[in-house]
């Protein structure tokens, strides 16, 4: 999932996403375009009014943008609150004891992995832009906001206010250890990293200055047990308040569970020139992640935040295949199961082949969450020649999935998954496989 507001992404790239614009296209839009020549003689105010009506009735875009407008520090609290107190009783997913049932198995925790995205520089390459010097969008700002939101979630709760249209923020007067036991969410963020935005020295470190990866992951070890890994991350959860420029480096240890890379924003998994500094940077990243058993999450669809034509370096059958041939011990998950807007299964087939390697996974986030989709997914897992049953993870891609997958809410996404009788292997998808990917649990 993602936790962000409109200050974090490259907003111009977001607003001109193909899938966002396509979501506006319905029969009324097509009619307006068809009648465009007639529009030349219609009053301008009439045309504007009709276009506003078309846009305003797109509930999925409205839902997404309205959520992004919520202050980021309240987003986890709102997700928690509405899972228990939705607008319609039928959409209640969790009771006040944090219990919910999936195929006869009761759970009392949800693990959230907010994926930070290293957006780098603003997307302003178009001619005619006056302010065309691109300032860097430091990921530290996004991460600081994210961790402030996490600490807020473990310090407060939302309760009904006297005004029925409002909620009140109440501080919880208990030790953090007790609060974490009672809360619904365990939150393990992933650090966004695009090696193109940093020098090799910045990533590796120099004499007297710790490298970017060591700053956050030096305590990780491939030899530690899954329980040790989870317990270290759990102990740190909720403590860090988001101040990204502290002198005490220990503050930053164990605040991330893994690393997020995003080829559609230009991250090249396997640069062509192996003598280049860029190749040295990604090679160091993979070797470090293997040494420390750090899971990587790779965006793997031809949609998402796109700032150029990067389908070739996103395609799992091209450069990622070279990566895994060179670094077969790498722990990686290909998000979105290689979804392609054309409906092609080429990327999906490549991912299924790659999952034959021990530590390669995929997830179903931001896919079409319908009965037909889950029936097809179940058949794909069942008929696969590889052990795909143990390699697929549940995921949501919230809140982007509210328009990309036509989901009204997080509640609806979970409800379709839980109630889908066509989908088998739910225990593996929502618990066993994510646990193995995150913490290294033996299959």
Distance CA 195, CA 120 (A): 10
H helix or E strand, kind and range, residue 209: strand 209-210
Query: What pLDDT does residue 333 have?
Result: 98
Of 194, 211, 214, 193, the closest CA to residue 203 belongs to 211
Query: What pLDDT does residue 27 have?
Result: 45
For residue 254 the two structure tokens come to: 């164990």
Query: What pLDDT does residue 341 have?
Result: 87
Between 1.10.3470, 3.20.20, 3.90.1010, 1.10.357, what CATH number should domain 110-141+188-439 receive? 3.20.20
For residue 362 the two structure tokens come to: 């995929």
Distance CA 256, CA 177 (A): 19
CA dihedral of 191, 192, 198, 202, whole degrees rounded to 10: 0
Distance CA 207, CA 326 (A): 29
Strand 296-298 vs strand 258-261: parallel, antiparallel, or unpaired? parallel
The answer to whether the CB of 84 falls within 8 A of the CB of 92 is yes
Query: What pLDDT does residue 119 have?
Result: 79
Distance CA 251, CA 255 (A): 8
Query: What pLDDT does residue 52 have?
Result: 66
The answer to whether the CB of 180 falls within 8 A of the CB of 236 is no
H helix or E strand, kind and range, residue 149: helix 139-153
Query: What pLDDT does residue 298 have?
Result: 98
**Average pLDDT by stretches of 10, the chain with 443 residues:** 74 56 51 52 61 65 78 93 92 92 94 89 57 62 92 96 91 97 97 94 91 96 95 96 85 96 95 97 98 97 84 96 97 96 93 95 86 88 88 91 77 90 90 96 56
Distance CA 407, CA 417 (A): 12
**Block residue for tokens 């409800």:** 415
SS3 of residue 250 by DSSP:
helix
For residue 184 the two structure tokens come to: 């619904």
pTM of the model: 0.88
Distance CA 195, CA 286 (A): 12
Strand 185-187 vs strand 110-112: parallel, antiparallel, or unpaired? parallel
Of 161, 188, 176, 184, the closest CA to residue 84 belongs to 184
Angle at 90 between CA 89 and CA 96, to 5 degrees: 55
Domain ranges for the chain: 24-56, 110-141+188-439
Query: What pLDDT does residue 370 have?
Result: 74
The answer to whether the CB of 146 falls within 8 A of the CB of 34 is no
Q: How many helices (H) and strands (E) are present in the chain, helices listed first?
A: 21, 16
Helix 319-326 with 346-354: angle, nearest 10 deg: 0
Cβ count near 332 (within 10 Å): 27
Of 138, 139, 194, the closest CA to residue 307 belongs to 194
The answer to whether the CB of 188 falls within 8 A of the CB of 175 is no
What is the separation, in whole angstroms, between the first and last Cα of the chain? 24
Query: What pLDDT does residue 306 have?
Result: 78
The answer to whether the CB of 64 falls within 8 A of the CB of 399 is yes
**Is the four-CA dihedral 304, 1, 406, 316 of positive or negative sign?**
positive
H helix or E strand, kind and range, residue 392: strand 392-393
The answer to whether the CB of 72 falls within 8 A of the CB of 146 is yes
């Amino acid at each position: 999932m993602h936790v962000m507001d409109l200050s974090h992404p490259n907003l111009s790239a977001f607003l001109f996403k193909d899938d966002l614009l396509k979501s506006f296209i319905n029969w009324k839009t097509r009619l307006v375009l068809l009648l465009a020549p007639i529009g030349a003689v219609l009053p301008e105010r009439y045309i504007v009014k009709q276009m506003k009506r078309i846009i305003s009735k797109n509930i999925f875009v409205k839902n997404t943008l309205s959520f992004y407008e919520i202050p980021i520090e309240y987003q986890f609290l709102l997700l928690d609150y509405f899972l228990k107190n939705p607008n319609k009783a039928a959409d209640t997913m969790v009771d006040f004891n944090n219990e919910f049932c999936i195929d006869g198995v009761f759970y009392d925790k949800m693990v959230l992995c907010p994926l930070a995205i290293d957006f780098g520089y603003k997307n302003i390459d178009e001619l005619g832009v006056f302010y065309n010097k691109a300032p860097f969008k430091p990921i530290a700002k996004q991460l600081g906001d994210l961790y402030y939101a996490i600490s807020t979630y473990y310090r407060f709760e939302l309760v009904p206010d006297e005004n029925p249209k409002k909620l009140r923020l109440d501080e919880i007067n208990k030790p953090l250890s007790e609060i974490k036991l009672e809360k619904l969410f365990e939150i393990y963020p992933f650090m966004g990293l695009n090696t193109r935005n940093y020098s090799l020295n910045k990533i590796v470190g120099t004499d007297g200055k710790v490298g970017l990866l060591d700053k956050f992951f030096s305590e990780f070890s491939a030899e530690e047990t899954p329980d040790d890994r989870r317990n270290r991350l759990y102990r740190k959860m909720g403590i860090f308040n988001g101040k990204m420029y502290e002198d005490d480096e220990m503050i930053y240890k164990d605040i991330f569970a893994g690393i997020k890379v995003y080829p559609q924003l230009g991250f090249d998994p396997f640069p062509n020139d192996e003598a280049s500094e860029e190749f040295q940077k990604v090679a160091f990243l993979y070797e470090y992640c293997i040494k420390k058993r750090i899971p990587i999450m790779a965006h793997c669809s031809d949609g998402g935040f796109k700032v150029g034509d990067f389908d070739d370096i996103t395609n799992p059958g091209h450069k990622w295949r070279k990566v895994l041939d060179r670094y077969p011990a790498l722990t990686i998950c290909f998000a979105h199961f290689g979804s392609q807007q054309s409906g092609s299964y080429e990327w999906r087939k490549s991912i299924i082949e790659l999952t034959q390697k021990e530590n390669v996974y995929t997830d179903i986030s931001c896919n079409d969450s319908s009965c037909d989709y889950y029936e097809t997914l179940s058949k794909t897992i069942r008929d696969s020649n590889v052990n795909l049953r143990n390699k697929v993870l549940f995921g949501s891609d919230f809140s982007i999935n509210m328009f990309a997958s036509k989901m009204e809410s997080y509640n609806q996404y979970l409800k379709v998954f839980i109630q889908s009788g066509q989908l088998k292997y739910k225990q593996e998808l929502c618990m066993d496989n994510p646990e193995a990917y995150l913490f290294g649990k033996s299959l």
